[in-house]
Structure 1
């Protein structure tokens, strides 16, 4: 894999920060200065400031993200999730939850596990509670569950059930950009509140808005079985 991805997978730094280190000639691979975009293997001798890559303890966090926070590790982005948490170690969000939405987001420094969670073909479940701008009928739930054409592709079939007149529960196995908002818009509905309450086996229960908790060993073990 590319050197910046390897360093991210090891939990050492972000890909962007890795590129900065390369540009400053602080990384060598098998005794030679590393180049931007260079492909490496784990068996290669990779040194940073002439020292082996320090191995970090893995961090796994469940955060209840408020509305207004952007899911990016880019610190220059205003109201980004990294500045919001002000966590002392390098971590990054697993996937996205758009700025206007709230709820569960996983934070980690484990790039390998993050990649497995995000791989679309794995069809991992994500569950949401969604309120729209007006009441909907059973036909709306039926067509939403069968898949909706957005951005030139048809979404995968999903599970949709009613919570109340203008609110539904939806379980997706993919994560297209603003997928639920776009799906609802096709049928004339505007999402006014969207909360993610579950990612695979991790639930938001017990985490107050803006707070977070470490995943348990059992939760991490179950994720790694995927």
Structure 2
């Protein structure tokens, strides 16, 4: 079974909050509250503060194929960044940037108009004096917080990050918190 799920902002990519509610802070939202089928698990991760497509499966070999960088499943993101990227910043992202854990593979990147997304709760803070730009960024690897670290490395902090595709599977038509069974073909 393969499930495509639109993970909302500030939801963990696991079914329980293993950190619990330490220090009096409330437990964080998890996948358990969305009526997903039993006995499936995330094939990969999406940060707590990121949104969009998360694939879940009950098939360990399929999960490995979806997440192992050797299989080069492209992951496409819509990224709202602070600032107005210049050609050098976009070229650096295309060529791959050097992060603390080594250089990234080259990425596909292009400017896009503001995409037709749902409102985020809470909304991204708007500042009149600081422009923001939407980019479509596709990478073939999946390091921890990679897209955020890449954009920050070229001077473009990420404000909002939405994964819209993994390989041929697209988010199309799923509202936050909704899921669908996905053909495995």
Length-normalised TM-score, structure 2: 0.81
Counterparts of 1:169-180 in structure 2 under 5 Å? 169-180=136-147
Runs of 4+ with deviation above 4 angstroms: none
Which residue pairs with 1:72 in the alignment?
Answer: 14
Task: Provide the residue aligned with 2:63 in structure 1.
Answer: 114
Map of 1:24 onto structure 2: none
Which is bigger in relative contact order (C-alpha 8 A, separation at least 6)?
2
Q: Which residue of 2 aligns with 1:159?
A: 108
Larger radius of gyration between Structure 1 and Structure 2: 1
The aligned residue for residue 98 of structure 2 is 149
Work out which of the residue numbers 155, 159, 167 in structure 2 matches 1:188.
Answer: 155
Shift of 1:73: 4.1
Aligned-pair RMSD on alpha carbons?
1.6
Higher relative helix content: 1
What are structure 2's unaligned runs of at least 5 residues? 20-26, 114-131
Query: Aligned with 1:63: secondary structure?
Result: strand
SS across alignment from 1:181: helix
Secondary structure in 2 matching 1:135: coil
- Distance in 2, matches of 1:111 and 1:80, equals 25
Rounded Cα–Cα distance in structure 2 between residues aligned with 1:119 and 1:95 = 9
The number of aligned residues is: 160
Matches within 5 A, 1:33-44: none
User: What is aligned with 1:84?
Assistant: 33
Match for residue 202 of structure 1 among 138, 145, 169: 169
